[in-house]
Structure 1
């Protein structure tokens, strides 16, 4: 049972050591992530700490070691299913390696992102992971001068010298185009995400490359900005006007593809995939739901997280380590929302 103490009375590690019958350094090892202590010693120390009401002073330890064991994580939005799941995996993976995560939200503007990262640096973090945002070259230099490594997660448009982990978005877009063309589609449209995002740019470029290789051009284009309501409006606009609407739509992510499917089926009364095929990008859990049954390009979230954590800790442990830029493959997951060409399997 923990002892009741005056709030102003701080229990020290020396007191815990005396009560547990161990050295003060043993107490420090027990409460230091990654340090070694025998199970018997750890049990004695933790029991003594509970009885005395002791809590280790993380900030003081950081001042002595020069390490805060904190990683700053900046993200622009969480309404896309991909990010909450990926960020949970990132947090768990970093915690398993002895690090804590501080999450900061930023709007998709250079000024806001720079302000947020400057704030993160004030917390004396050991590193920064920027998910769904990019850094200016000036801010990248500022982080480098502060000795704080940066890794971009699901972005590749960082300043020179910044590591990044993302999918091969160009190849994913190209594969989507080849699949739709092989399925006999001629009027292929595209719904873009946020125009300045490297993910958006790469996916559209890949699609256009596939179309160009077969003598085709985009039948129509809308911008959804990775937002559901904007994606719905973009889908409606593709079918307006006197000419025929698209017979296939490649959408820059699953979140917007769900919106496109809702409009195509629910508002326009068209059949999927008989009248219109729809392909997304990410393979988030709802893509497999019967209501959507979405054909999509899979982002390998587990591998992205593993690579991001490995690169981050390598750069923390080895100052001056060369930046790494990783692009992972994006397999096509074939479901029922797109016409399946003969001979294609997932």
Structure 2
């Protein structure tokens, strides 16, 4: 057999060479399918010798499934979503699924292009902290492509969602700052319209009000380093300078630490406490030692996979999953009353 002949190798050829049925060959290349180990070994050996590769397009036409999951991603400057994307890619691969990445558009609501998405046969669409418009939701419904929101929620049943417990997280941070006897707090908010930011902000302000504390100052950080940097400067240059800042994510908190320490000469963790959210890898770096509320990215990704598999069998299913996290206290915040 010449090299040029290899493009015509079929599952029938592999079955004959391995002495098995064609269905056995199909099962051997189907993740999770039941095949005896010695049979699988013979099939893989024959496939390698013949240069066989399964035709995924043909298999998708027969099964009605492509095993491709579209992932819409917005701003990858946030390390939390870079980590999530890596975990999601690996987790989907282990489940026999493939990831197809769609960048979210800067305009039009910050979502992936509808036309671009629907050019592909997708088993599901996952949106990583990207909003879901009614137009995209309707087109996905028509195409029978289930949608899973990651780190976002929606008011209707157009999509399922997986989020961290933002309410408990923000209340825990507020309690932590009150325990350190902070009197003048501030909140640097994320993007306007983000359900994640709204939940964290509402819980933080609400808990402080319940405890009779002074209402925090507020500045907009838009989840972006440069905007959070400007917001921190504005807060610290004011007459009523805060002694604690809660930032709606770690990216903004790291920017706040840099401004407080290097521009205003403040001793972060003593003169001012700064707390973030997500607990990205950089939070543990000695240069920042950032106190942060950890979101368990792997557990959240595992829930996304569970929903994808369930939604493929039941497209009308809807489920909102909340995964709990925990506060990781480091040197950027004080835990006792100052003397």
Establish whether TM, by shorter chain, passes 0.5.
yes
Q: In structure 1, how many angstroms separate the alpha carbons of the residues matched to 2:257 and 2:237? A: 16
Change (3 A) 1:333 1:260: same
User: Match for residue 40 of structure 2?
Assistant: 42
Corresponding pairs, count: 337
- Note the residue ranges of structure 1 that are not aligned, 5 or more in a row: none
Q: In structure 1, how many angstroms separate the alpha carbons of the residues matched to 2:277 and 2:216? A: 20
Deviates more, 1:278-287 or 1:222-231: 222-231
2:186 aligns with one of 174, 184, 189: 189
Change (3 A) 1:67 1:202: same
Deviation, 1:216, is: 3.5
Paired residues for 1:144-183 under 5 Å: 144-157=141-154, 159-183=156-180
User: Match for residue 199 of structure 1?
Assistant: 196
User: Match for residue 111 of structure 2?
Assistant: 113
Deviation, 1:60, is: 0.7
Residues 147 and 158 in structure 2, CA contact (< 8 A), matched pair in contact too: no
- Note the residue ranges of structure 2 that are not aligned, 5 or more in a row: none
Paired residues for 1:28-107 under 5 Å: 28-107=26-105
Q: Does 1:335 align with 2:330?
A: yes
Q: In structure 2, how many angstroms separate the alpha carbons of the residues matched to 1:158 and 1:59? A: 36
User: Match for residue 285 of structure 2?
Assistant: 289
Offset from partner CA, 1:293-343 (integer Å, 9 cap, x none): 11111112122112111112111123433x11112223211111111037x
Q: Output the TM-score relative to the length of structure 2.
A: 0.93
Paired residues for 1:233-312 under 5 Å: 233-241=230-238, 243-312=239-308
Deviation, 1:187, is: 1.0
Q: Output the TM-score relative to the length of structure 1.
A: 0.92
Q: In structure 2, how many angstroms separate the alpha carbons of the residues matched to 1:193 and 1:320? A: 32
Q: In structure 2, how many angstroms separate the alpha carbons of the residues matched to 1:204 and 1:9? A: 58
Q: In structure 2, how many angstroms separate the alpha carbons of the residues matched to 1:144 and 1:135? A: 12
Residues 190 and 221 in structure 2, CA contact (< 8 A), matched pair in contact too: yes
3-state SS in 1 of match to 2:71:
strand
Residues 75 and 106 in structure 1, CA contact (< 8 A), matched pair in contact too: yes
Residues 136 and 158 in structure 1, CA contact (< 8 A), matched pair in contact too: no
Residues 254 and 281 in structure 1, CA contact (< 8 A), matched pair in contact too: yes
3-state SS in 2 of match to 1:6:
helix
1:320 aligns with one of 313, 316, 323: 316
Deviation, 1:269, is: 0.6
Residues 205 and 216 in structure 2, CA contact (< 8 A), matched pair in contact too: no
CA RMSD of aligned residues (A): 1.9
3-state SS in 1 of match to 2:237:
coil
